[in-house]
Amino acid sequence: MERNLIKMGTTTVSVVGRNFVVLGADKKSTLGFMVDSKEARKIYPLDEHLAITIAGSVGDALSVIRLLRAQFKLYRMERGKISVRAAATFLSNVLHNSRFFPYYTQFIIAGVDERGAQIYSLDPLGGIDEKDKFYSTGSGSPFAYGVLEAGYREDIPEREAIDLVRKALKSAIERDIGSGGKGINIVVIDENGYREVE
């Protein structure tokens, strides 16, 4: 079967503020043209100050998440909390090391540490992007980016960032056949740590 006949859909969104990050994701999981789940999880905590979003193959993503969690626990025992940049670099190395048999995933790592709030987007081969203040992954990302481009500003407060993420996801869900499910997930990470928003 040709790979382009199997389409995977999702939408994840991240926005960085002055001292916080907001992550959001839809809940639909697809298997080709079938809805596999309407309540899929696509945002995972990696540590109290660090989270990751997933788009692509769930099996590949969960395998990587288990590896990251284990490594970050070991790091914490030896040196303390891993920085957001170090976590993204570690993930980049894992993905690049598997570049000939890649994980079919796209990740966003986000968190808050001594350097402040940060987000990193990683492609399946380990390419890392840290220049932007917002990212979106998955098949709904073109629709989400339109909302993010129009609504983001450097000094965005947390409440507005949450609303912007919600609007970006809503736009993707309304126009992307691979995005949807029963509601959305939104997570905030700030100096107090990881929390899910009702």
Q: Tell me the per-residue pLDDT of 90-137, one tens digit each, with 9 for 90 and over.
A: 999 999 999 999 999 999 999 999 999 999 999 999 999 988 999 999
Catalytic residue among 10, 11, 53, 105: 10
* Cβ pair 49, 187 in contact under 8 A: no
Q: How many of the other CB atoms lie within 10 Å of CB of 47?
A: 21
- Residue 8's contacts (CB-CB under 8 Å, 6 or more residues apart) are 30, 55, 56, 57, 104, 139, 178
Q: What is the pLDDT of residue 102?
A: 92
Catalytic-residue membership of 10 = yes
pTM, 2 dp = 0.92
Render the burial of 80-99: b for 16+ CB within 10 Å, e for the rest.
ebbbbbebbbbbbebbbeee
